[in-house]
Amino acid sequence: MPVISEPHAFNEGELYIDLQSIFGRTLYLKCEGFNFAGSIKLKAAIEMVETAERDGLLTPDSILIESSSGNLGVALSMIAASKGYRFLCVTDSRCNLSTRLLMEALGSDVHVIADMDANAGFLGARIDYVRSLCDSDNRYVWLSQYTNPGNWRAHYRKTAPEIARQFPRLDALFVGAGTTGTLMGCARYFRQWHRPVRIIAVDTVGSVAFGGEPGRRMIPGLGMSMRPPLLDESFVDELIRVEEADTIRACHRLARHGFLFGGSTGTVVSGAMGWLAQHGADGLTAVAIAPDLGERYLDTIYQTTWLQDLYGDDILDSEEVSARSRGAAGPASRTPSRRRKP
């Protein structure tokens, strides 16, 4: 029986779901939502905070500040409450209400950006606001999840080794792309592993993380309105882009079987199932990472009025994940070049 004194000391990393009975294809879904922050972002948050402490950047007078669409903000709120820091999360209007309330319940301040930057969207506006506060008061300490190597290092040290221990014959790994911290940490680890592992990034349509035209994105989590500074495409074998409608259908299909997951998980599962269908992947050992659970999406992805207002009345009519989730053969996807590091 684990006994802890700090909330970040508990993080269940060994739970997987075989999705064969739900989708008809074997895919092992690594569940990262079973900790007190409720998502995979706890790993990056604690790595970045503890590095800042070791480097002397954080003092008792410091005010942590970060731009987040939700999950990292919750993780930092929990850690700040545990360690006695003040924390300000700068988010935007797409952040789920339940997530904002959760951060406030943990004692954090939340600033919501309502207007997009003309070129860089909500993310650019959030970062501009963070920078302005840091310039005005040296008590603010910005961890900068978008550029902080602790973001990917957490997954190089923890997430990827957890997968490797359970699946020593791993063939393919599907990872959602946001800041690309999880993607880069896992990809770097498996590049050095004893056997080749295909690293497949899953992004949402409308994101410009890997290039392309920006588009409307209403589900927080995956996707970026700029190229992620942490991204090195030489570590990525393939890219899949998933329509938000397919994200929603995957989430609801999982929920009908008793598994309530968040939007990022629905995106990764939809993209992975499309890829496995196209590649006839019988006998392939494939793992996908589920970043969070679904309770924080009850007023969005699982709320009928919200769905119908944004996606139309027939959004849930299809029982199958639709063909608009495009894999390597689809027009909206591409395969980044794979260059071996020296």
The answer to whether the beta carbons of residues 50 and 199 sit under 8 Å apart is no
Same domain, 171 and 282: yes
* Residue 181 belongs to a domain: yes
Q: What is the pLDDT at residue 273?
A: 97
Q: What is the pLDDT at residue 316?
A: 84
Same domain, 211 and 297: yes
Same domain, 112 and 70: yes
Same domain, 192 and 272: yes
Q: Extract the tokens encoding 240.
A: 């899949």
* Residue 249 belongs to a domain: yes
* Residue 216 belongs to a domain: yes
Question: For the ranges 64-73, 80-89, 280-289, 319-328, which has the lowest average pLDDT?
Answer: 319-328
Residue 232 has pLDDT above 60, yes or no: yes
Q: What is the pLDDT at residue 329?
A: 33
The tally of domains found in the chain comes to 2
Q: What is the pLDDT at residue 282?
A: 79
110 — pLDDT class (breaks 50, 70, 90)? very high
Same domain, 107 and 68: yes
Residue 22 has pLDDT above 90, yes or no: yes
Same domain, 196 and 47: no
Tell me the average pLDDT across 37-41.
96
Q: Find the domain containing 57 and state its range.
A: 41-142
* Residue 152 belongs to a domain: no
Q: Between these two residues, 131 and 321, which has the higher pLDDT value? A: 131
207 — pLDDT class (breaks 50, 70, 90)? very high
Q: Which of 83, 112, 142 is the last residue of a domain?
A: 142
Residue 342 has pLDDT above 80, yes or no: no
Q: What is the pLDDT at residue 90?
A: 95
Q: What is the CATH number of the domain that holds 281?
A: 3.40.50.1100
pLDDT tens sequence across 310-324: 998 888 875 444 434
Chain length of the chain: 342
Same domain, 71 and 129: yes
Q: Which of 142, 171, 205 is the last residue of a domain?
A: 142
SS (H, E, C) the chain: CCCCCCHHHCECCCCEEECHHHHCCCCEEEECCCECCCECHHHHHHHHHHHHHHCCCCCCCCEEEEECCCHHHHHHHHHHHHHCCEEEEEEECCCCHHHHHHHHHCCCEEEEECCCECCCHHHHHHHHHHHHHHHHCCCEEECCCCCCHHHHHHHHHHHHHHHHHHCCCCCEEEEECCCCHHHHHHHHHHHCCCCCCEEEEEEECCCCCCCCCCCCCCCCCCCCCCCCCCCCHHHCCEEEEECHHHHHHHHHHHHCCCCCECHHHHHHHHHHHHHHHHHCCCCCCEEEEECEECHHHCCCCCCHHHHHHHHCCCCCCCCCCCCCCECCCCCCCCCCCCCCCC
Mean pLDDT of the chain: 90
Q: What is the pLDDT at residue 218?
A: 84
CA atoms within 13 A on the CB side of 172: 24
147 — pLDDT class (breaks 50, 70, 90)? very high
Q: Which of 75, 109, 142 is the last residue of a domain?
A: 142
Same domain, 47 and 169: no
* Residue 204 belongs to a domain: yes
How does 327-339 read in b/e, with b if 16+ C-beta sit within 10 Å?
bbebebbbebeee
Q: What is the pLDDT at residue 217?
A: 87
* Residue 342 belongs to a domain: no
Q: What is the pLDDT at residue 334?
A: 43
Relative to beta strand 198-204, strand 238-242 is: parallel
Tell me the average pLDDT across 127-132.
94
Tell me the average pLDDT across 140-146.
95
* Residue 334 belongs to a domain: no
CA 185 to chain centre: 13
Same domain, 253 and 271: yes
Neighbours of 161 (CB within 10 A): 15
Same domain, 68 and 118: yes
Question: For the ranges 63-72, 112-121, 149-158, 169-178, which has the lowest average pLDDT?
Answer: 112-121
CA angle in degrees (0–180, nearest 5) for 94-98-104: 100
Q: Extract the tokens encoding 83.
A: 């360690």
Same domain, 18 and 84: no
User: How far is Cα 140 from Cα 65, in angstroms, rounded to an integer?
Assistant: 6
* Residue 331 belongs to a domain: no
Phi, psi of 205 (to 5 degrees): -60, 135
Same domain, 194 and 264: yes
Residue 115 has pLDDT above 80, yes or no: no
